[in-house]
Amino acid sequence: MSASQRVVVLGAGVLGLSIARELAQSGAQVTVVSAGGVPRTASLRSFSWLNSLSAWPLDYHRLRLRGIAHHRRYAAANAVPWLRFDGSLNWEAGGASASLSGVHAHMLTLEYETRWLKAGEAAALEPALAVAALGDASVLHAPGEGWIDLPAWLAVLEAASVSAGARFVKVEGDASVSTQAGRVNGLRLPDGTLVPADAVVVAAGAATPAVLSPLGAAIPAATNRALLVHARVARPGPKAVLRGPDVAIRTRADGALVLHAEWADDEVRDDGPNRWAVEADVVQDVLARASATLSGCPTLELLDTGIGLRPIPGDHYTVAGAIESVPGVFVAFSHSAATLAPAIAEALAPEVLGQGRDAQLDPFRPSRFSTT
Ligand SMILES: Cc1cc2nc3c(=O)[nH]c(=O)nc-3n(C[C@H](O)[C@H](O)[C@H](O)COP(=O)(O)OP(=O)(O)OC[C@H]3O[C@@H](n4cnc5c(N)ncnc54)[C@H](O)[C@@H]3O)c2cc1C
């Protein structure tokens, strides 16, 4: 396929927009179709810690590093307040450090910079952190990590895509992939209109398996419900990303805090199609635990609760590449896409344009699932 061919990207989250920008800047005629909106768009309610701090296999770690390197280059070239690399501080309950010790050992083998800090050292490094919250825990410091405010990044990606010629179509309801004689011929909008295309990239977040299923491509999912709490605080928030056993905390560009707690995700319940709910006392508990983590136990004023689905492939690793059984259809489906999207987009766009396959995507192709 030549670069001047027509490509439709389904989904205007961080993955879809990152891919659209790459494709448009490569000369493709790009149309981005998306339903958008907060409840369905994970990228509008993401904690967005930029990291590779886990015992990931080497291939996945390298893909994450490629994403972080992109973000670092952008931060170096553009002094924006919504993309910061001030490290992360990580600790476990009751002074235990068993699982983090394993992570630290693994990180050393990968030469990913991490080091142990005593509680007092961590609080000295990060004055917003309450030393009492740490107890006798050791704190694992990953100085190269950071965070991004995805709504600001999405605006940059959309503007860059538009200035490279991309067209945006906002829809109400579900668009679907259209095929003719066994290969893709475009994207069908909810009103029945066909947007003709030579290739369609499905980057529909949590809806990705449902979009691909009618094509006979079964992508397993472990997607779960998630709660993100935003709160105002009267004093400076932490510079580092704080990840304790009760709650994770980071500061936003405007100084407010973003809070995420795995235990609170379990309290989210379905409340109708594309609707989710959580009890107010769960949100208050998240705020209380965050306050107790911060020095001086500041009052946190609730600004917003973001509730919805967190897109996660069934084996937890990125799914990116061609759907071999339906020529012209490509997929990008991933957790941690705040971190990974620039890498996935850079690797996938040439493949969509028929300019070769990036070997770094080989372990992550949808063909690893037998039904694609
Ligand atoms: C609470 C939470 C915390 C997270 N923390 C981190 C973190 O710390 N670090 C990290 O790297 N990542 C994190 N993530 C993951 C990251 O945010 C997601 O991987 C990423 O946002 C997914 O982006 P996406 O573009 O794939 O999907 P989305 O942002 O969900 O976008 C998909 C879009 O497609 C549209 N769409 C879907 N189907 C259709 C259809 N049929 N027709 C039209 N439009 C359609 C949707 O409306 C939506 O706008 C977190 C996510 C959550 C929810």
Cβ neighbors of 58 (< 8 A, separation 6 or more) are 110
CB of 46 shorter than 6 A to ligand 1: yes
Token output for 357: 């396959």
CB of 11 shorter than 6 A to ligand 1: yes
For residues 132 and 246, membership in a common domain is answered with: yes
| CATH number, domain containing residue 280 | 3.30.9.10
Cα of 338 from ligand 1 centre, angstroms: 9
Whether 37 has a pLDDT exceeding 90, the answer reads no
Q: Are the CB atoms for 70 and 345 separated by under 8 Å?
A: no
Whether 2 has a pLDDT exceeding 70, the answer reads no
Report pLDDT for 163: 98
Beta bridge partners of 301: 232
For residues 10 and 126, membership in a common domain is answered with: no
Q: Are the CB atoms for 32 and 159 separated by under 8 Å?
A: no
Does some domain include residue 292?
yes
Q: How high is the mean pLDDT of the chain?
A: 95
Does some domain include residue 278?
yes
Report pLDDT for 313: 98
For residues 164 and 189, membership in a common domain is answered with: yes
Hey, which of 18, 48, 188 would you mutate to test ligand 1's pocket, going by the most ligand atoms within 8 Å of its Cβ? 48
Q: Work out the number of other CB atoms within 10 angstroms of the CB of residue 214.
A: 10
Sign of CA dihedral 81, 82, 84, 87: positive
pLDDT digits (tens, 9 = 90+) for 256-290: 999 999 999 999 999 988 889 999 999 999 999 99
Which residue lies with its CA nearest to atom 31 of ligand 1? 13
Does some domain include residue 256?
yes
For residues 109 and 240, membership in a common domain is answered with: yes
Domain boundary among 261, 289, 310: 310
Domain boundary among 310, 325, 346: 310
Which residue lies with its CA nearest to atom 12 of ligand 1? 336
Report pLDDT for 192: 98
CB of 223 shorter than 6 A to ligand 1: no
CB of 88 shorter than 6 A to ligand 1: no
Does some domain include residue 200?
yes
- Nearest atom in ligand 1 to 308's CA: 53
| CATH number, domain containing residue 364 | 3.50.50.60
Domain boundary among 265, 286, 310: 310
Beta bridge partners of 181: none
- Nearest atom in ligand 1 to 339's CA: 11
For residues 139 and 20, membership in a common domain is answered with: no
pLDDT digits (tens, 9 = 90+) for 117-168: 999 999 999 999 999 999 888 999 999 999 999 999 999 999 999 999 999 9
Does some domain include residue 61?
no
Whether 372 has a pLDDT exceeding 60, the answer reads no
Mutual angle of helices 14-25 and 337-352, in 10-degree steps: 40
Sign of CA dihedral 256, 262, 267, 269: positive
Report pLDDT for 371: 61
For residues 154 and 296, membership in a common domain is answered with: no
For residues 294 and 275, membership in a common domain is answered with: yes
The total domain count for the chain is 2
For residues 183 and 255, membership in a common domain is answered with: no
CA 165 to chain centre: 25
pLDDT digits (tens, 9 = 90+) for 176-191: 999 999 999 999 999 9
Report pLDDT for 99: 87
Q: Are the CB atoms for 47 and 63 separated by under 8 Å?
A: no
Measured CA to CA, the distance from residue 256 to residue 254 in angstroms comes to 6
CB of 39 shorter than 6 A to ligand 1: no
What range does the domain containing 265 cover? 88-143+224-310
Mean pLDDT of 61-89: 98
Cα of 38 from ligand 1 centre, angstroms: 10
Measured CA to CA, the distance from residue 289 to residue 276 in angstroms comes to 23
Q: Are the CB atoms for 8 and 31 separated by under 8 Å?
A: yes
For residues 101 and 246, membership in a common domain is answered with: yes
Hey, which of 22, 47, 49 would you mutate to test ligand 1's pocket, going by the most ligand atoms within 8 Å of its Cβ? 47
CB of 15 shorter than 6 A to ligand 1: yes
Report pLDDT for 95: 65
Buried b (16+ CB within 10 A) or exposed e, 192-213: eeebebbbbbbbbbbbbbebbe
Whether 223 has a pLDDT exceeding 90, the answer reads yes
Which residue lies with its CA nearest to atom 18 of ligand 1? 337
Q: Report CA-CA distances (Å) from 112 to 76, 126, 310, 339.
A: 20, 21, 27, 16
**Lowest-pLDDT choice from 38-47, 145-154, 233-242, 304-313:** 38-47
Q: Nearest CA to 17 among 148, 156, 146, 170?
A: 156
- Nearest atom in ligand 1 to 41's CA: 30
Whether 205 has a pLDDT exceeding 80, the answer reads yes
| Helix, strand, coil share (%) of the chain residues, nearest 5 | 35, 25, 40
